[in-house]
Amino acid sequence: MTSEPAMAKPRLRVGIVGCGWVAGSQMTRGFDLLTDRFEVIACCDSQEGRAKDFAARHDIATATAGFDEMLRDDRIDVLSICTPPSLHHGMTLAGLAAGKHVICEKPFTSSLRLMDEVIAAEAEAATRVMPIFQYRFADGITRVRHLIRSGLGGRTYLSSVETAWQRGAEYYAVPWRGKFATELGGVLLTQAIHIHDLFMWLMGDVAEVQGFKTTRVNPIEVEDCAVASLRMADGSLAALAATLGSARPATRLRLCFEHFVIERQCYGAEAPRPGDDPWLVTARTPELQPEIDRVLSEAPLGLPDFAGQFADFAEALEQDRPFTVTLDDARRSLDLITALFHSAETGDRVHLPIGQDHVRYGGWVDGAA
């Protein structure tokens, strides 16, 4: 007796919104590697010529300048929003209202109030929203998170996180960058947001923040240097530092536990890939190292980068389970950023989470909507 062949699952049909370099990264490092799960059938950009060029490069059938056309296109199951940050909130709500699932790039929006509007809208919708934090989907970060969650480390003592990258005149020649009205923020919101998400993904919630920020590297509105001291929910302490003026780009994380220390240092072209190996874990005693190595080897690894996050998106829809990256994660990220901006502007020590009665619940960008 022969069994019937398994039926192939229908692919999710995707529309890309915004055809810049981030959309290109989503294609080459994500959707192009998952053609059994996704079919990108349309793209749009406010510059129709750019949309057509993008479609030609990536073999996409439909290109348009009209976002409304994407909303009306009944063929599209998922909108992937890759536009400047100031457009994310409105486009996400419009996508939900049109019955589309939404994948939205970071930063999600400019305030906790707007973030909560999206959370409430998704709760009432038949479709779902996934924020992008693709750095989580890498072998190194997966292994050390598995180790931390095993409890083998004991108490947490101190963490230090450094995002020292380089951005100059060429980067800020793009008109929407460097302005609060369109980029919404600088190094804290655009670059270090990924590294700080990894830090909280590993170490949990932040309870208290004291921070400073300034603009010293580029002639822009938004911050390009920042430091902060944190008290974590578990009582441990942490230090964050970020700049866009490092001649040698670097990302460094050092996490000190009772029984071991975890370190990751990457430089140059590797600086934007801190989730990758090698992560170094050093035991306090030689006898513990074999047990550490065993736990690290047992971590459940998956696809990396955008491919890993998009595969999780498809599987979560199929299994009716939460995404690995949720709207609550995006809110936690904005909670930290709101606290950092408020502390830097006022000198206050800020307690998290920030509630609706806080003066900056409505955001750090005056008049943003």
What interhelical angle do 289-297 and 139-149 show, nearest 10? 120
Whether the bond into 290 is cis, omega within 30 of 0: no
pLDDT number for residue 367: 45
**Cβ atoms within 10 A of the Cβ of 333, count?**
22
pLDDT number for residue 232: 98
Instruction: Quick: pLDDT tens for 274-328.
Output: 999 999 999 999 999 999 999 999 999 999 999 999 999 999 999 999 999 999 9
Q: What is the pTM of this model?
A: 0.95
Is the per-residue pLDDT at 2 higher than 80?
A: no
Angle at 70 between CA 69 and CA 71, to 5 degrees: 90
Q: What integer is the mean pLDDT of 325-353?
A: 98
Distance, CA of 111 to CA of 369 (rounded, Å):
9
Indicate the fold that domain 12-133 takes in CATH.
Answer: Rossmann fold (3.40.50)
Is the per-residue pLDDT at 343 higher than 50?
A: yes
The values of phi and psi at residue 113, to 5°, are: -60, -50
Which tokens sit at 201? 């993904």
Q: What integer is the mean pLDDT of 56-80?
A: 97
Which residue has tokens 């190595």? 293
pLDDT number for residue 216: 98
Q: Grade residue 28 by pLDDT with cuts at 50, 70 and 90.
A: very high
Share of the chain above pLDDT 90, in %: 96
Is the per-residue pLDDT at 206 higher than 90?
A: yes
135-301: in CATH 3.40.1440.60: no
Partners of 227 in the β-ladder: 212, 241
Lowest mean per-residue pLDDT among 5-14, 131-140, 201-210, 308-317: 5-14
Q: E strands within the chain?
A: 12-17, 38-44, 62-64, 78-81, 101-104, 129-131, 156-166, 206-214, 225-232, 237-243, 245-257, 260-267, 280-283, 350-351
Distance, CA of 131 to CA of 106 (rounded, Å):
7
Is the per-residue pLDDT at 368 higher than 70?
A: no
The domain locations on the chain are 12-133, 135-301
Q: Grade residue 8 by pLDDT with cuts at 50, 70 and 90.
A: low
Domains 12-133 and 135-301 share a fold: no
Q: What integer is the mean pLDDT of 141-158?
A: 98
> Would you say 88 and 106 are in contact if contact means Cβ atoms under 8 Å apart?
no
